[in-house]
Structure 1
Amino acid sequence: MSDGIPATATLTGTAVGEQAVRNARPQFLSEADVVRFVAAQQADAWLARDLERLSGAITDELDAV
């Protein structure tokens, strides 16, 4: 089973089959994939402005870490 991680299916403790489990996702992302993912997930431009405006009002209320 060199194509994946061997897995044994059991039924009441008795082995009934084997299958090589493969990871369908690539282990590493290319830089282009990361840029494409981040660009698609960017937050609303107004959110950054609102968070910046609100952050001055709440930072004094936060406990020290």
Structure 2
Amino acid sequence: MSTSARWTYEVVELSPNMLGPSMTERLREELDRLGRQGWELVSANQVNPFDQVRLILKKVA
């Protein structure tokens, strides 16, 4: 890929959920889904265990 590539960015936030699948499982499913659409994970952050997990992704525009 050339250094002049243009990127499109996406930000996804997953909120903690006491019911249902674990956060790890939800993250894996979401990343798999987004990966199939061509998105690449750039960063993931969470300030504390009770905050949302914020995923920052990119793909070629």
TM-score, length of structure 1 as denominator length: 0.27
- Between 1 and 2, higher relative CO (CA 8 Å, sep ≥ 6) is seen in 2
Structure with higher Rg: it is 1
Relative to its length, the structure with more strand (as a share) is: 2
Relative to its length, the structure with more helix (as a share) is: 1
